[in-house]
Amino acid sequence: MQMTPEWSLMMVAIFLVMGSANWRRRRLRRATRDLPTRLFRQLGPEPEFLPPEEVPEELQGYATLHKRSLRVQHGIWMLALIWMGWVALLGMGLL
């Protein structure tokens, strides 16, 4: 059974979502690896590594990285959603 062009194009969106999640996870894991043990223990569980509610001064850079990487991930998810909408319109023959 051969895959239709619409399904092949949908796979691009799936790869974008999976790739952005893996990119963020690797980036956060690399940042936590460089933290001292005392600061690492203040973070949430893996894979999110959420910073504490009241961020100490030493974790300010990590908290900024955490928020920025989440914004990038959500931006890529939005791009994937737009792409899936475009492919759906193509599949219905509206374009």
Which pTM does this prediction carry?
Answer: 0.86
**pLDDT the model gives residue 6:** 81
**pLDDT the model gives residue 1:** 55
Q: Which portions of the chain are predicted below pLDDT 70? A: 1
Rounded Cα gap, residues 73 and 82, in angstroms:
14
| All structural domains of the chain with their residue ranges | 5-92
Q: Can you tell me which residue has the tokens 């974790």?
A: 59
Percent pLDDT > 90 in the chain is 76
Long-range contacts: 60-67, Cβ < 8 Å, 24+? 62/31, 62/32, 62/35, 65/27, 65/28, 65/31, 66/28
Provide the b/e sequence for 13-48 (b: ≥16 CB within 10 Å). Answer: beebbeebeeebbebbeebbeebeeebeebbeeeee
